[in-house]
Structures are given as structure tokens and as C-alpha cells.
Amino acid sequence: MSVYRTLAGPLNVWAAPDQAKKKRRPKAVDDWFRGLSDPKAQEIWREIQRQRAERETELQQELFKQKKRQADAERALQTKVTKKAQEDLRISTEKISKLKLDLDDLQRAEPLPRDARFFPGNYAPVIVMEGSRKVIKPMRYQCRLPGWNEYVERKYPGTYNARRDSIPKTWDALFGHKHGIIIVNAFYENVERHLMEHRELAEGESTENVVLEFRPKPEQDMIIACLWNESPDGDGHLLSFAAITDDPAPEVAAAGHDRTIIQIKPENVDRWLTPEGRSIEELQAILDDRPEAYYEHHISRAA
């Protein structure tokens, strides 16, 4: 599957005029621009570097603050053990560790697997069809449906996934019109520990959330069916998408989760990305025609 690696998409995905408007992106997406010679790519890379320098200053200031908090707590504990001093020491130590990791990430050029992971609300590369060519567009992983504005979407924060059984009611304006794909090699789900362990909650036990990482066997890049939209957003426009999900594969259900993202086969990509004029039955058949995969899981250690 060939993809034209255009830098399609608005520059405001990378621009950050103020703290509230910053766009969250995986490090791998930003680092992609490091070695590109295209003038627009270099403009974006300069903006990324500016943001990283600004972020480094913020992190250094917070690190200084937490080191002081840690030192104050250690001195207080030498005099008298109090719950406040213990909590200050614990929290500051954890924050210092995270801040140092974030600072290292700003400067690190060597890629790590966690650099490509994205979360709801992050921007991710989505492949769509423009004319006769496939292009990559950065889109927010939380779809703003047609007719919605920022106020409305805050009421419905779960639109990063499009339930297949909700397509006729909720997603009909996009299904058959605006299709995309993302390519991933793993997906992550929140489950309750007792469900993962196939047991009832013990008396007095509270539910505990566990993040599971699912990877397909045989190992493969998964082509995930998506729906996307373009919406007005202040002075610009917002590109956003959702991954289509279905009833869980048996092994995903056994791990305690009730949905699975839908893989499509490489030979179906062109038809999926050009939905106009195709019947609902044909498009649904593409979603049914999936590669063979068994989703192994383990508890994710990455934040």
C-alpha cells in the first residue's frame, strides 16, 4: 500500500499560541519532521523546537519547585514524622522522577516504542484519500461530529471510538462519506482487575483499573478502520477521527474488555477509503472481512 507522504493538514496543529490551545502529539509524530527538507516541514520543525524550548523551561521550573519540596520534607522528617511531610516526600520524589524523564525525552533523538503511543485527545497520523492519492493528515483522536462545537463535544467525551452498532444512529453522516485508516501494532484498553482475573470483587474490595496492551499474533501492522470529520474551530478548522470498534474478539472479552477495534485487509483499503457511491452492504462487508489475528495481552507499564 503506497502512501503519498504529504504534509497535508493545517499548520495550527503544531502552532501553540497559548497554553490552553496546545495540541498534544506523540513524540514520534513531531520527530518525523526532524530530517525532512520540505520547506513546510522545516517551518513545522522550527515551531516544534520553539515549543520544546518553552516546555523545557516550564519543566526546569517545576523540577526546582519539587526538589525544594523534597528537601523541606526530608528536613521536617528529621525533626518529627508527620503525615504531611511523608506525603510531600512521596509526591515530590515521584514528580521529580517523571520530570527528569520528560526532560530527557525533549532532547532524546533515538526513538523508543512508547514515543508512538497516542491517547484520546492526542493528534495522530490518519491516512485518507485525496483525489486519487492517499495522504497523511494529522487528526485529533476524538471525533467532533457534524454540527457539533467545542461546547457540545465536551458532553460526549467518548467519541474517540465509533461503535459499529451505533453507526446508523450516531455516525451515519460520516459512514459512507469520510473514511480513514490508522496503522498501529498494538492497542490499549482499560479493564477492571477482577474482571481480568475472572473473579468477583471480594467483600470491601474496590474496583481497580488496569491498562492492558493487546498485540496481534502473528505480529502485524494493523490497518484500523476510522471515520473522520472536518469542523470549524475558532479561526481555523479541526480535523478529528474515531476508530471503529465492534464486539470483542473472544480473547479480548476473556481479558475483561467489551470492544475491539476493527482491522481491515490491505486489499480492501482502496475501497474503504473511497466510500462514495458504494452500498452500505459493501462497506459493512469490508468491516467483516478481517485479517486473522489472536490478540495477546499483558499489563502495560508505560504511562
Domain segments of the chain as ranges: 35-108, 116-299
User: What percent of the chain shows pLDDT beyond 70?
Assistant: 91
Give the CATH class of 116-299: alpha beta
DSSP for 60-96? HHHHHHHHHHHHHHHHHHHH---HHHHHHHHHHHHHH
pTM to 2 decimals? 0.84
Residue range 221-274, pLDDT digits in tens: 999 999 999 987 766 789 999 999 999 999 999 999 999 999 999 999 999 999
Q: Which of 6, 8, 16, 113 is nearest to 58 (CA)?
A: 16
**Tens-place pLDDT, residues 42-69:** 998 999 999 999 999 999 999 999 999 9
Burial label, 75 (beta-carbon count in 10 A; 0-12, 13-18, 19+): exposed
pLDDT (mean) for 170-177: 96
